[in-house]
Amino acid sequence: MLSKLIAIFWKDTIIRFSSKSELLFFLILPVVFTLLLGNFRPSGSDTDNRVPLLLVNEDNSALANNLVAALAQLESVRIVALTRSEAETAFAAKEAPALLLIPVGFEQALLTGETAVLQFSQLPNNNNGNVAAQAVQTAVNQIGQPLAAARNATVEAAARRPFATEQARTAFFNASLQMAQEIAQEIPPRVTLTQPQAANIDVNSYDPAAQSSAGQLITWVFILLLGTSAMFAFERSKGTLRRLLTTPTSKATFILGAMSSNYLQSLVQMAILIAFGMFVMGVNWGQSIPALTLLLATFGLTAVSFGVMLATFVTSTSQANNLGVMLGMSMALLGGCWWPLELFPPLTQTIVKVLPTTWAMQGLTDLALRGHGVSGILPETGALLAFAALFLAIGLWRFRFE
């Protein structure tokens, strides 16, 4: 019997990979989608997503430098300090969406109560330029509030007791300005942003790389194993299944051999994707290799059993392939493989528990993000084994050689 199983395994492997397009689903698409959905960036790449703001500081005074420092503290823009000619050339080449010029006399105008003019330019119809404009306005307000407070304090003091000399007025204004600036730095934020958390999710543990690696592994391995139905449809269309009736090979041996070949191929695919997630995406698959092995082995058994069941409902290879991709994609999507299940409505989260992809994704998430061991994933593996038993029972009951 072992020799028959090996022969069936070798035959199915040759048939499956006789077409180069099979590598598209086996390796290329899983890797591409894992990178895209995992927000992957090569090591050493620029990860600064702030809007670049060209800045020319010709005044180079204390208040001008305060304005630059206020801009540098904002999370929305990234300061690119240049000379006037360099900044104008870069802006003309659209290397940045906005340019800010602090002209000579900026501080003098502010201290004397005159209108200080900043030269700000932005690209038309550009959202990043609007972001830069709002950032400049925020920074101007930050340095303008202490100035307004110092100016009002000076006016109030002069109304109560006129200053003896202009030098005394200037000294009082400078002291008031320094005090106002110190107070402004000590003011605590009045608004705190909080985000509601779903009852069963720890937002601090969310990792897009882990979500992507686990989700795409389940998606494409599931599609591969649903392709078991296409193998049976192909054998049926060629009359191979019917000819088996004239050989000593039993139906159980043939089905076991076909399941084993597809199952072993899926184990190879899962091992590759696990290694890719670990070494390229930086995913930590947990502290328990036995737990990870148990979950993946159980998931593979469930998926290949589903493929055997699906084979009893399709009539052609093309129908099996199309239905396998459609079911694989839709069940993976609803099972939380493409986006976290916690983003779905509560009712949907309950309904999709009828899908094996939901339990597989939950198990991998428990391993990668929550550090569970074998005992922690027993509910998921138990559910997957129940699905496997149900799918295989239906497949064997409905299996026909013609």
DSSP per position, 186-211: HPPPS--------TT--GGG--HHHH
Residues 225, 263: contact at Cβ < 8 Å? yes
Q: Which domains does the chain have, with CATH numbers?
A: 2-41+205-398 (no CATH), 51-186 (3.40.1710)
Instruction: Produce one character per residue of 200-225: b if its CB has 16 or more CB atoms within 10 Å, e if not.
Output: eeeeeeebebbbbbbbbbbbbbbbbb
pLDDT value of residue 205: 55
* Residue 127: burial class (beta carbons within 10 Å; 0-12, 13-18, 19+): exposed
Helix (H) or strand (E) holding 280: none
> Tokens representing 259?
């399941």
pLDDT value of residue 115: 79
Instruction: Produce one character per residue of 338-349: b if its CB has 16 or more CB atoms within 10 Å, e if not.
Output: bebbbebeeeeb
Q: Helix, strand, coil % (nearest 5) of the chain?
A: 70, 5, 25
CA-CA distance, 13 to 172, in Å (whole number)?
88
CA-CA distance, 219 to 338, in Å (whole number)?
9
Provide the β-strand partners of residue 99. 54, 121
Which of 115, 121, 51, 116 lies closest to 84 in space, CA to CA?
121
Residues 379, 386: contact at Cβ < 8 Å? no
Mean pLDDT by 10 residues, the chain (402 residues): 67 69 77 80 56 92 86 88 92 92 86 82 86 88 75 78 78 74 59 45 64 93 88 78 67 77 90 92 87 95 94 89 91 92 88 96 90 92 96 88 64
Which of 147, 54, 61 lies closest to 104 in space, CA to CA?
61
User: How many alpha carbons lie under 13 Å from residue 227 in its C-beta half-sphere?
Assistant: 21
Residues 368, 392: contact at Cβ < 8 Å? no
pLDDT value of residue 186: 61
Residues 55, 87: contact at Cβ < 8 Å? yes
pLDDT value of residue 386: 97
pLDDT value of residue 198: 42
pLDDT value of residue 8: 65
CA-CA distance, 170 to 193, in Å (whole number)?
41
Write down the pTM of the prediction: 0.60
CA-CA distance, 78 to 64, in Å (whole number)?
17
